[in-house]
Amino acid sequence: MSAPPRIYSSSPPRFPPPHSLHTSSIPFSSLNFGNSPPLHRLPPPSSNSTTATTSASAPTNAMEPLVPPKYPKYLDSSSYAELVQRQYELRLAAYSSDKHRESADATPILVNSAVRNPKVKSSGQPFHLSLDNADKLEDLDLKLPTAWNPNDKGHCVELSSDNRRLKYVGVGKDDTDAASVRANFPMRPQCGIFYFEVEIVSKGRDGYIGIGFCWQSNLLNRLPGWDDHSWGYHGDDGHSFCSSGNGKPYGPKFGTGDTIGCGVNFQDMSAFYTKNGVDLGTAFQGLQGASLYPCVGFRTPGEQVEVNFGEREFKFDIEHYVKVRERGKEDFTMVQATNTLARMQEAKGKLLADISNIPITESAISRGAGDSISTPSKAAPPSTPASTSKPSSPAPPPRLNSIDDMESSKILHEVVLSYMVHHGFSDSAKTFAKDISESRKTDSMALLKDSSMDTDPIDLIRDEQDIQQRQEIRHALMAGDVDKAINLCEEHYPSVLDDNDMLMFKLECHKFIELMRQYAEQQGFHPKLARSCSSSTKSAIDTYVPAREGMDLDDVPVPQQRGYKRRRSIHEEEDSVDSLSNNDDDEEDDDSEDDEEDSLDGLLGTAMTYGQQLQQNYGRDERPEVQSTLVETFSLIAYRDPFQSPVAHVLDDLRRDELVNQLNSAILVSRNLPGMPRLEHMYKQTQVAIQELLFSGNGKAAMMDLRKDVL
């Protein structure tokens, strides 16, 4: 076993009891825990950290300016907003870790932790922004159209200095004199819906103005909509042009003073227009392409337009319906908003319906089956195969065939059962296995199917003893009995903790936390039921207890008198009664006080002795994770009510659960079993797949919210 043994020393503790520190005014951050990093590097970095301030400021070199993302307000709740915000954070993190490294080189104090930090990137390069094949979110180009591109226009079009106003200055004799201009960036499918408006400043001679969008590859001596990969709505006749020289009647004509809006819905790949704030309905469906550029085209002299990509208020209230989508139906009046909202919901509903028809079978998930499944399913099969009469009901649930049903429930059963087995929920697993083997018998009788083909679900619980053992370990840890958990683990799975010294270390630290918890609870402190993060700051200040130099473990090995408080051993409990009652709010009732104080200091003594041992064993371990865990663990001492301290999270049940999971995983891995339940892996896989789809501009994926949709 590589981790140091746990030793229960009976020597006097070198830790001062926390209440002896109450009145000290020395800032907590000046404490020194042997080789531990200075405390101000703990979250929250309340004060003084110089690195923190530099990282927040904008970079000064030639890098891409690192400013918070900006986008039109109606995108506030879109996947786009989320994505671009995460990208910003990632870039910020990359930037500050580069900075961190630089400062680490300069200040030797930080060398250890910084150099060892694997997250520090070796390159100090600016971000590489490429349009295609971006593998990482950091590198993904998410810039939205903000103006026309002066370098991407047909001849005879003049741009204003801000590149938003366009004027046609050609002769405009015939169609060969047409000229278009593309925006500087494409509309991103991640937006779900992208919307922009064009005001017709002047319709010129004939008002042959086309508003729409096209690919980057389209020629610009044409009007939008005339060619493949190009779509447009034309002012002279009000027709919509869908990749064709022949338009179709669509909306009203438009001319001087009108404002035409164009919205592309990437969720169902359709587009709609608005005129002066009124929705004109869907113009195009079945759009193609992941990079569609807003585009305006002219054909007769004097035509002039100005674009609004969201920097000003739109005529059409697109923001309103996005808000409405968030909040539900509250305050919902706009007709056009209803339409657009309905369009989005319809698209998502259709997608979910398609997905709900995907069979859960091995052949569906195995490779190569993709083609047959991704084609949207045909109309739901009628509930009755009879030809003499129509289906009985208007909305029968589509029935998969029963063989698929059987396979699907078998797969689901196994996913659930393996989840229970994984976590050592032994009773659940046994009960569930019994339940499903019964229902399987009923099913197969009902469906006239031979059940002997299936394995008995009970067989899935291969090693009941193993489940039971892991369950015991879980119980022990959840009850706060770390020793028992460790003992059980060493008894049943001897190699696990030997092979995972970090885990062993965490368990040992956790034991200290549990001791401190007991102590705090005996003192009458209890976990806050609803601890809100924001309000905890204030209470943390109230209960914040500055510690004092007595905490310096390394150079003060001998207990000695220090002012009016001194270090005490377990045998000096009586003294503590006074100091405690002095500092306490007299919450305990008087009768039991003496007894409580006795056991209380006993507990504290044990904790301190143990903590000292921990410090001895690991204090010189330079691994950053060890050091930061030690700091976090020991900082509990500084607070009178640890449940309300900034480190209260270590006392949370979630922390226990986390440890249980880590230990459980380690045990399973040591037995050559997966360290993660299938269910969890599938969830993560789906999440990452959707994320990748989003990166690659899949509009359908932009509609998905896995957490909301399945959790």
User: Does position 403 bind another protein by CB under 8 A?
Assistant: no
User: Does position 402 bind another protein by CB under 8 A?
Assistant: yes
Stretch that binds another protein, among 59-67, 358-366, 562-570, 608-616 (CB under 8 A): 358-366
User: Does position 586 bind another protein by CB under 8 A?
Assistant: no
Positions in 653-682 near another protein (CB under 8 A): 657, 661, 677-682
DSSP tag of 447: T
Question: Residue 371 or 589: which CB sits closer to another protein?
Answer: 371
Strands lying side by side in the sheet with 148-153 = 148-153, 179-183, 293-298, 210-214, 230-234, 239-242, 248-249
CB atoms inside a 10 Å sphere around CB 573: 17
Residues 6+ apart with CB under 8 A from 446: none
Read off the amino acid at residue 660: V
The answer to whether residues 474 and 422 touch, using CB atoms and an 8 Å cutoff, is no
The answer to whether residues 459 and 434 touch, using CB atoms and an 8 Å cutoff, is no
Q: Please, what is the minimum distance in Å from the beta carbon of residue 432 to another protein?
A: 4
Positions in 17-46 near another protein (CB under 8 A): none
Q: Count of residues binding another protein (CB under 8 A)?
A: 95
Which residue among 259, 663, 700, 703 contacts another protein (CB under 8 A)? 700
| CA dihedral of 202, 204, 207, 208, whole degrees rounded to 10 | -120
Stretch that binds another protein, among 153-161, 241-249, 354-362, 458-466 (CB under 8 A): 354-362
Name the β-bridge partners of 241: 232
Q: Please, what is the minimum distance in Å from the beta carbon of residue 435 to another protein?
A: 5
The answer to whether residues 58 and 66 touch, using CB atoms and an 8 Å cutoff, is yes
Q: Please, what is the minimum distance in Å from the beta carbon of residue 705 to another protein?
A: 11
Residue length, the chain?
A: 711
Q: Reduced to 3 states, what is the DSSP secondary structure of residue 543?
A: helix
Distance in angstroms (rounded) separating the CA atoms of residues 319 and 75: 8
Question: Residue 396 or 494: which CB sits closer to another protein?
Answer: 396
Question: Residue 46 or 698: which CB sits closer to another protein?
Answer: 698
- Burial classification of residue 598, based on how many CB atoms lie within 10 Å of its CB (0-12 exposed, 13-18 middle, 19 or more buried): middle
Which residue among 403, 446, 479, 541 contacts another protein (CB under 8 A)? 446
Which string of DSSP letters, residue by residue, matches 26-92? S-GGG---TTSPPGGGSSS--S--HHHHHHHSPP-SSSPP-------GGGTTSHHHHHHHHHHHHHH
Question: Residue 23 or 696: which CB sits closer to another protein?
Answer: 696
User: Does position 333 bind another protein by CB under 8 A?
Assistant: no
Which residue among 374, 495, 537, 582 contacts another protein (CB under 8 A)? 374
Question: Residue 79 or 645: which CB sits closer to another protein?
Answer: 79
Which residue among 35, 46, 339, 428 contacts another protein (CB under 8 A)? 428
Which residue among 427, 464, 554, 652 contacts another protein (CB under 8 A)? 427
User: Does position 235 bind another protein by CB under 8 A?
Assistant: no
Which residue among 162, 435, 622, 652 contacts another protein (CB under 8 A)? 435
Positions in 251-310 near another protein (CB under 8 A): 269, 287-291
Positions in 211-230 near another protein (CB under 8 A): 215, 229
Distance in angstroms (rounded) separating the CA atoms of residues 566 and 334: 73
CB atoms inside a 10 Å sphere around CB 208: 22
DSSP tag of 233: E
What share of residues in the chain are helix, strand, coil (percent, to 5)? Answer: 45, 10, 40
User: Does position 708 bind another protein by CB under 8 A?
Assistant: no
Q: Reduced to 3 states, what is the DSSP secondary structure of residue 660?
A: helix
User: Does position 88 bind another protein by CB under 8 A?
Assistant: no
Q: Please, what is the minimum distance in Å from the beta carbon of residue 147 to another protein?
A: 24
Distance in angstroms (rounded) separating the CA atoms of residues 194 and 258: 20
Q: Please, what is the minimum distance in Å from the beta carbon of residue 681 to another protein?
A: 5
User: Does position 353 bind another protein by CB under 8 A?
Assistant: no
- Closest alpha carbon to 510 in 630, 613, 616, 605: 630
Distance in angstroms (rounded) separating the CA atoms of residues 1 and 599: 34
Which residue among 65, 118, 394, 557 contacts another protein (CB under 8 A)? 394
Which residue among 387, 452, 560, 561 contacts another protein (CB under 8 A)? 387
Distance in angstroms (rounded) separating the CA atoms of residues 498 and 706: 39
Q: Please, what is the minimum distance in Å from the beta carbon of residue 570 to another protein?
A: 35
Which residue among 384, 455, 487, 537 contacts another protein (CB under 8 A)? 384
User: Does position 390 bind another protein by CB under 8 A?
Assistant: yes
The answer to whether residues 502 and 621 touch, using CB atoms and an 8 Å cutoff, is no
For another protein, what does the binding mask look like between residues 458 and 497, x meaning CB under 8 A? -------------x--------------------------
Stretch that binds another protein, among 31-39, 95-103, 119-127, 685-693 (CB under 8 A): 685-693
User: Does position 686 bind another protein by CB under 8 A?
Assistant: yes
Question: Residue 44 or 385: which CB sits closer to another protein?
Answer: 385
DSSP tag of 225: T
Q: Reduced to 3 states, what is the DSSP secondary structure of residue 282?
A: strand
Read off the amino acid at residue 658: E
User: Does position 538 bind another protein by CB under 8 A?
Assistant: no
CB atoms inside a 10 Å sphere around CB 125: 10
Positions in 135-164 near another protein (CB under 8 A): 135
Q: Please, what is the minimum distance in Å from the beta carbon of residue 118 to another protein?
A: 11
Which residue among 50, 106, 119, 132 contacts another protein (CB under 8 A)? 132
Which residue among 423, 506, 510, 517 contacts another protein (CB under 8 A)? 423
The answer to whether residues 659 and 152 touch, using CB atoms and an 8 Å cutoff, is no
User: Does position 11 bind another protein by CB under 8 A?
Assistant: no
Stretch that binds another protein, among 147-155, 200-208, 364-372, 610-618 (CB under 8 A): 364-372
Read off the amino acid at residue 527: P
CA 706 vs. chain centroid, Å, equals 11
User: Does position 133 bind another protein by CB under 8 A?
Assistant: yes
Positions in 183-202 near another protein (CB under 8 A): 189
Peptide bond into 382 cis (omega under 30): no
User: Does position 419 bind another protein by CB under 8 A?
Assistant: yes
Distance in angstroms (rounded) separating the CA atoms of residues 380 and 260: 40
Q: Please, what is the minimum distance in Å from the beta carbon of residue 366 to another protein?
A: 5
User: Does position 709 bind another protein by CB under 8 A?
Assistant: yes
Quick one: tokens of 370?
Answer: 């993709």
